């Protein structure tokens, strides 16, 4: 539990770090956009202010997710971090689509900008946003992964501005900037799709990908003095904290000590498979209520 609390606190701090960096850099972008007369940088400044809003929401939800169970949410608030992931993913999708639209518009209507000023601001943008990316890279929560993609989008965007600024400083090739923007937007959308798919699977109580439920059932079935297991369910709260419930059928004539040892062994196997919360219902072999999945008759 101490490890879970420490990680949740670290995730909250990482997202807060990204939020403040993003917000203050957006202010710098406004000044830079005015000085370079770059509509692209001004648009990105507006985009970053929107990012700051979504990052603030993600930060708040990550903090809420640290709360323990109560009368309203008996399992705790861990899934609130998933809402942050969904919110940021949707913002990324909208932002990427707007960038794609603007990029296609600029193919037919190229604009002149101060290339040297773009290069200077791009280097600063890479350094500032890169610091947030490094901080978030090792994050494990889906919320952190979504924020990581968010900040990575900004880093790649500034890399594109840097490359475009250098090229346009030496050659008259205004189409380079929108072309790079299209490629980056497509990369972001593909990653958002993977992260959002994973988040939705968790919300729908998909069996965690790291767990083979059939193998788990076999391991439980050979526990000493046990007859079988059934009604086995495994799901995840937030992609990291997994939950299991199972009916353990004991042989006839077992003692309470036998039952306790069997339960301890089952919990050990579950822990080995990364499952921290286990609920066990013990039955005798003459009980008939057996079902493997939730929608089967028992």
Q: Where are the alpha helices (DSSP H) in the chain?
A: 2-36, 39-64, 80-108, 115-136, 142-170, 176-203, 213-221, 256-272
**Domain membership of residue 236 as a residue range:** 213-284
94/231 same-domain check = no
120/81 same-domain check = yes
pLDDT per position as a tens digit, 27-80? 887 787 777 766 566 666 666 666 677 677 767 776 776 777 778 877 777 777
Total structural domains within the chain: 2
Confirm whether 43 is domain-assigned: yes
Confirm whether 193 is domain-assigned: yes
Measure the CA–CA gap between 153 and 22, rounded to whole angstroms.
Answer: 12
pLDDT per position as a tens digit, 186-230? 877 887 888 788 888 888 888 988 899 889 988 988 889 888 888
Measure the CA–CA gap between 127 and 132, rounded to whole angstroms.
Answer: 9
pLDDT per position as a tens digit, 17-41? 777 877 887 788 778 777 776 656 6
Measure the CA–CA gap between 193 and 208, rounded to whole angstroms.
Answer: 18
177/51 same-domain check = yes
Of 173, 170, 132, nearest in space to 151 by CA: 132
Confirm whether 295 is domain-assigned: no
197/79 same-domain check = yes
Measure the CA–CA gap between 208 and 242, rounded to whole angstroms.
Answer: 8
25/172 same-domain check = yes
Q: Which H or E element spans position 275? A: strand 275-284
Confirm whether 208 is domain-assigned: no
CATH code for the domain of 253: 3.30.70.1350
- 262: exposed, middle or buried (C-beta count within 10 Å: 0-12, 13-18, 19+)? buried
């Amino acid at each position: 539990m101490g490890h879970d609390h420490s990680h949740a606190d670290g995730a909250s701090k990482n997202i807060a770090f990204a939020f403040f960096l993003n917000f203050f850099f957006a202010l710098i972008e406004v000044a830079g956009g005015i000085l370079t007369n770059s509509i692209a940088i001004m648009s990105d400044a507006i985009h970053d202010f929107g990012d700051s809003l979504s990052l603030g929401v993600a930060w708040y939800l990550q903090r809420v997710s640290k709360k323990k169970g109560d009368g309203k949410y008996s399992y705790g608030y861990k899934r609130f971090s998933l809402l942050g992931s969904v919110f940021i993913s949707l913002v990324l999708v909208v932002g990427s689509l707007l960038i794609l639209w603007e990029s296609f518009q600029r193919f037919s209507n190229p604009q002149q900008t101060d290339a040297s000023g773009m290069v200077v601001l791009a280097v600063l943008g890479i350094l500032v946003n890169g610091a947030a990316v490094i901080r978030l890279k090792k994050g494990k929560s889906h919320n952190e992964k979504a924020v990581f993609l968010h900040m990575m989008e900004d880093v790649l965007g500034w890399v594109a501005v840097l490359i475009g600024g250098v090229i346009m400083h030496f050659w008259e090739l205004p189409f380079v900037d929108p072309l790079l923007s299209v490629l980056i937007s497509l990369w972001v959308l593909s990653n958002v799709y993977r992260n959002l798919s994973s988040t939705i699977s968790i919300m729908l109580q998909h069996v965690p990908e790291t767990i083979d439920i059939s193998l788990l059932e076999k391991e439980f079935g050979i526990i000493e003095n046990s007859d079988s297991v059934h009604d086995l369910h495994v799901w995840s709260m937030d992609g990291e904290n997994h939950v299991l419930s199972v009916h353990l059928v004991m042989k006839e004539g077992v003692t309470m000590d036998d039952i306790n040892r069997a339960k301890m062994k089952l919990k050990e196997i579950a822990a080995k498979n990364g499952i921290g919360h286990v609920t066990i219902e013990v039955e005798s072999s003459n009980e008939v209520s057996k079902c493997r999945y939730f929608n089967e008759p028992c």
